[in-house]
Amino acid sequence: FGSSSRRRSGAAWWMATRVAARGAAAGSRPWAAAAPWALAAASLSARYMLGDGLTQQLIERRKEHDWRRTFLFGSFGATMGAPAYLFYAEFPSRVLRPLVAARWQLIVSMICVDWAVFLPGVYLPTFYGFRQVIYSESPSAPLAQSALEYWRRHVLTDLTAATPLLVTSDVVMFTAVPAKWRVPFLSVIGLFWVVYISLARGSRDADQKHHGGQLADSAEAKG
C-alpha cells in the first residue's frame, strides 16, 4: 500500500511540475517580452515547485507528498517575480548606472545591495511571512510578530548559506545576461538554493524539531 501511494503521489507531483514548467517556457511568447515581470513570476514559481518536489521525492523520499509545502514555495515564487524583476533588471540601470562609471563598480554595488538589503530585507522576510501564514493554525495569531521572530532566528544562517551562490550569480548576470532574462537565469541556476531552503525551512516538522531540541537542551541544563 505504501509503495502504491507513493507512486500516485509522485505521479501527481510530476504532472504539477510539468504544468509549472510550461508556464516558465512562455518566454518565447510575445507577452513575455511585453510583461517580463510575468516571465519572472512564472519562472520563479516553477523553480520553487520543482526544487521542493525534487527535495521531497528524491532526498527526503516522502511516502506522501506535502502539497501544502509545495503551495508555499509556488505562491512565494510567483509573488517574488515582480520584486525580483525590478531589483535585478530595473534597479541597476535606473538607479546604480548613473552613480557608477565602470562595470566592475556596478557589479560590486549590486552584490553589496543584494547581500545587505534585498536578501535579508525583502526576500527572506517575504518567505518567512509566507511560511508563517501557510503553517499557522490560529487565524488570530500575531503573524507579523512570529515572522519577525523566525527572521531573527534564521536570517544569519540562511544569509551565510546563500552568499556563495549570490556572488557567483550576480557576477554572471551583470556581465553576460540581458536584463529581462536575469530572473529566469536565477530560476535555472538556483535549484541548489531551493533544495537547501526546502530542506532547512520548508517542512513544518523541521521547525518543530528545532524547538524540540531547544526545549530538551534547556530541560537537560536545568536538570
139-143, 187-191, 217-221: which has the minimum mean pLDDT? Answer: 217-221
Following CA atoms 131, 132, 136, 142 in sequence, which dihedral angle do they give, to the nearest 10 degrees? -170
Q: How many CB atoms lie within 10 A of CB 51?
A: 25
Residue 198, amino acid? S
HEC string of 123-192 equals HHHHHHHHHHHHHCCCCCCCHHHHHHHHHHHHHHHHHHHHHHHHHHHHHHHHHHCCHHHHHHHHHHHCHH
B/e letters for 70-104, b = 16+ CB within 10 Å, e = fewer, are: bebbbbbbbbbbbbbbebbbebbeeebeeeeeeee
pLDDT of 109 over the 60 cut: yes
Q: Look at the block and give the residue holding cell 536578501.
A: 119
d(CA 29, CA 46): 17
Closest by CA position to 2, among listed 64, 61, 53, 66: 64
Reported as a single tens digit per residue, the pLDDT across 64-79 is 999 999 999 999 999 9
Between residues 156 and 147, which one has the greater pLDDT? 156
Amino acid 34: pLDDT: 57
d(CA 13, CA 21): 12
Reported as a single tens digit per residue, the pLDDT across 81-95 is 999 999 999 999 999
Q: Look at the block and give the residue holding cell 531589483.
A: 87
Three-state DSSP at 200 gives helix
Amino acid 26: pLDDT: 45
Beta carbons of 204 and 137 less than 8 angstroms apart:
no
In whole numbers, what is the pLDDT of the chain averaged over residues? 81
d(CA 209, CA 203): 10
Reported as a single tens digit per residue, the pLDDT across 111-151 is 999 999 999 999 999 999 999 888 876 665 678 888 899 99
Report the sign of the C-alpha dihedral through residues 89, 94, 95, 101, in that order: positive
Taking residues 162-172, report their average pLDDT. Answer: 93
pLDDT of 30 over the 60 cut: no
Beta carbons of 129 and 147 less than 8 angstroms apart:
yes
Chain mean position to CA 139:
24
pLDDT of 174 over the 80 cut: yes
Q: Look at the block and give the residue holding cell 503573524.
A: 143
- Whole-prediction pTM: 0.75
